[in-house]
Amino acid sequence: MSGELTTARKKLATVSSLLKQQKAMPAVQATYDAVVIMLKGGLMKAEREEFQELIDSTVHILNSDKKLREDYPLIINYAPGGEKELLETLRELLQELQKKVSDGAQLMLAAMEKRKREQLEKGQALIEEGKTDEAQKLFDALIREFKDDTELRADIADKFIKAGLYNEALGYLEEALKNDPNAIFLYNRIGIVLRKMKDFEAAEKYYLRALKINNKDEYLYFNTGRLYYDWKNWEKMGKAAKMALKINPNFAEAEKMLKFAKKKLS
């Protein structure tokens, strides 16, 4: 279930970026999908409270979007415990948005997504051929075409990460973060890249900035602990593991991390 919860968190994290790109339907769909995952998850109290806060924040973002308000003038109401009612509202909203999307617009969006996918595949092939400079030129041109697409920059960065080209990946992630400074998954990904580059101090700064935005994500604490493991800072690793377990007492990997830290400190 932890994988599905991570997926739900990521979906909620993309809503703001999608609305900036005027992709109201994907933004509402992402919210809907996350709420469905939450209801099916059988969450513990701490997890449920965390998700309720995330959903509340996301609903506020939806209600604050001017273009969405034009398409759907009714306020989306939500209070903790009212997830089923929220689903009904989101379902109605999706139906309204669907009516407003013309066949021509759908074809245009599909063509744009197809082009994006094809260019990403070309860039991937260039990386595999060792033509890094050519891949970057292709990706940079794609970014100019889709300048507000944070996810595109993150997808490009992932291709460089998989190829072990961390400097290149870092550049795209930092640009993505400038585009969407509240996207916690970007801080986390930058932290992972910097950890692999053994720039531990810089990685720590990004993790701490992410934790200031959201201090109720056990996986974020766990990844911070991974940084301290590589850094051999056992005391901080133990503290990070404790915070992860405080949020999710059943987090087995965090429990192992804490035991390891205690062993090293003893």
Regarding whether 31 and 13 lie in a shared domain, the answer is yes
Residue 237, judged by CB atoms within 10 A of its CB (0-12, 13-18, 19+), counts as buried
Regarding whether 95 and 130 lie in a shared domain, the answer is no
166-179 and 184-196 helices cross at what angle (nearest 10)? 160
Per the domain annotation, does 262 fall within a domain?
A: no
- The answer to whether residue 120 scores a pLDDT higher than 90 is yes
Per the domain annotation, does 193 fall within a domain?
A: no
The confidence score (pLDDT) of residue 125 equals 96
End residue of a domain, out of 181, 201, 225:
181
Regarding whether 78 and 124 lie in a shared domain, the answer is no
Task: Please give the mean pLDDT across all residues of the chain.
Answer: 90
Regarding whether 28 and 96 lie in a shared domain, the answer is yes
- Average pLDDT on 117-134 reads 95
Per the domain annotation, does 261 fall within a domain?
A: no
- C-alpha closest to that of 137 among 150, 128, 127: 127
Regarding whether 79 and 23 lie in a shared domain, the answer is yes
d(CA 226, CA 68): 40
- The answer to whether residue 265 scores a pLDDT higher than 70 is yes
Regarding whether 138 and 94 lie in a shared domain, the answer is no
The confidence score (pLDDT) of residue 1 equals 46
Q: Residues 180, 181, 184, 190: what is their CA dihedral angle, to the nearest 10 degrees?
A: 100
- The answer to whether residue 2 scores a pLDDT higher than 80 is no
Could you tell me the CATH number of the domain that includes residue 113? Answer: 1.25.40.10
End residue of a domain, out of 157, 181, 205:
181
123: left (phi over 0), alpha (psi -120 to 50) or beta: alpha
End residue of a domain, out of 77, 101, 125:
101
- Which tokens go with 91? 């379902």
Which range among 120-124, 143-147, 198-202, 226-230 shows the weakest confidence by mean pLDDT?
Answer: 143-147
Condensed to tens digits (0 to 9), the pLDDT of residues 181-203 reads 888 889 999 999 999 999 999 99
Regarding whether 85 and 163 lie in a shared domain, the answer is no
pLDDT-above-70 percentage for the chain: 97
- pLDDT-derived band at 46, boundaries 50, 70, 90: confident
Regarding whether 7 and 88 lie in a shared domain, the answer is yes
Per the domain annotation, does 15 fall within a domain?
A: yes
Regarding whether 135 and 96 lie in a shared domain, the answer is no
Regarding whether 128 and 87 lie in a shared domain, the answer is no
The reported pTM is 0.61
Regarding whether 118 and 92 lie in a shared domain, the answer is no
Please answer whether residues 240 and 224 qualify as being in contact, where contact means their C-beta atoms are separated by less than 8 angstroms.
yes
Number of domains in the chain: 2
The confidence score (pLDDT) of residue 130 equals 94
Regarding whether 65 and 140 lie in a shared domain, the answer is no
- The answer to whether residue 60 scores a pLDDT higher than 60 is yes
Boundaries of domain holding 115: 102-181
Condensed to tens digits (0 to 9), the pLDDT of residues 85-101 reads 999 999 999 888 887 76
